[in-house]
Amino acid sequence: MVYLLALGSALFYGAADFMGGLTSRRAGAIPVVVISQFSGMLLLALLLPVLPAASPSREDLLWGAAAGLTGGVGVALLYRALAIGTMAVVAPTTAVCAVAIPVLVAVVLGERPVPLAIAGIVLGIVSIILVSQQQTAHGAGQHRAHPGGLPPGVPTAFASGVAIGFFFLSLARTRAEAGMWPLLTARMVSVLLFAGIAIATRASFRMPKGVAALVCAAGVIDMLANALYVLASRQGQLSVVVTLSSLYPASTVLLARIFLHERLSTWQVTGVVCALAAVLLIVSGGQ
């Protein structure tokens, strides 16, 4: 059951990221983050009265606030990366960074990864190098790399992965007795944060109705993914749950291939495969 919850969260995360990245190309990352996060928050607020009673502690709410800060930053960076880069490259890069964070934190706290986990981290670095190779052709859905640097979106994806990794860790620190209140706290923090940024930068929230509807749908789906992740993290081993939830690039890549007709070079396809293999190695090492 735990594995199904985690894989379900991965499926929803991938779909939400695809829609968020797609709409960010039309409306900008900040307005998309504000509206999508608010949509998810509204959904959870409406559902809380019918959910089982919960008794969150001050610590639970603080961890929720930390998750809101790191998760909001991570999502904003991810949407920006997906908007300017190739989705099938950005998504795996972010996932590898996100899943590696819990392993690194465990090492700092005194744990020592088994050889499989170490091999997964190394393979993840290799995959990042491979997916960062410059394109030789520029077809539909492809973008030019900056001269002498990484392709567009990849550096931002690195930062996004780190933030999302800490988001996973923060939510996993909450107790089962807290119910979904930490998640609501997280959304309130992220909405207030990015609403303030939007006001300060005078970001425009004008967008076609179809784009706005897709942004709201992304927020709702992302909230469902978060809820499934919270439930899974409270029932199973964190290293396993985080890694399974980080398999979301599979659905992002599939949707990008179907709707955007994104094509990758041989090296980049190899990199994507290595990224997914790295995730599986890390989860195997965490068992």
Q: Which residue has the higher pLDDT, 254 or 201?
A: 201
pLDDT value at residue 139: 44
Confidence of residue 136 (pLDDT cuts 50, 70, 90): very low
Dihedral sign, Cα of residue 96, residue 242, residue 71, residue 60: negative
Residues ≥6 apart with Cβ < 8 Å to 111: none
Which string of b and e fits 45-60 if b means at least 16 CB within 10 Å? eeeeeeeeeeebeeeb
Q: Which residue has the higher pLDDT, 100 or 224?
A: 224
Percent of the chain whose pLDDT exceeds 70: 90
Averaged pLDDT for residues 164-184: 93
Structural contact between residues 191 and 37, judged by C-beta atoms closer than 8 angstroms: yes
pLDDT value at residue 133: 64
Report the alpha-carbon distance of residue 43 to residue 184 in Å, rounded: 10
Confidence of residue 141 (pLDDT cuts 50, 70, 90): very low
pLDDT value at residue 138: 45
Nearest CA to 244 among 187, 286, 182?
A: 286
Confidence of residue 81 (pLDDT cuts 50, 70, 90): confident
For residue 144, pLDDT over 60 is answered with no
pLDDT value at residue 39: 96
Confidence of residue 43 (pLDDT cuts 50, 70, 90): very high
Segment 227-273, tens digit of pLDDT: 999 999 888 877 778 878 888 887 887 788 788 887 777 887 888 88
Averaged pLDDT for residues 20-32: 87
pLDDT value at residue 267: 81
Segment 177-191, tens digit of pLDDT: 999 999 999 999 999
Averaged pLDDT for residues 108-135: 74
pLDDT value at residue 134: 53
pLDDT value at residue 286: 60
Which range, 132-146, 152-166, 172-186, 227-241, has the best average confidence (pLDDT)?
A: 172-186
Segment 83-110, tens digit of pLDDT: 888 777 788 888 888 888 877 776 777 7
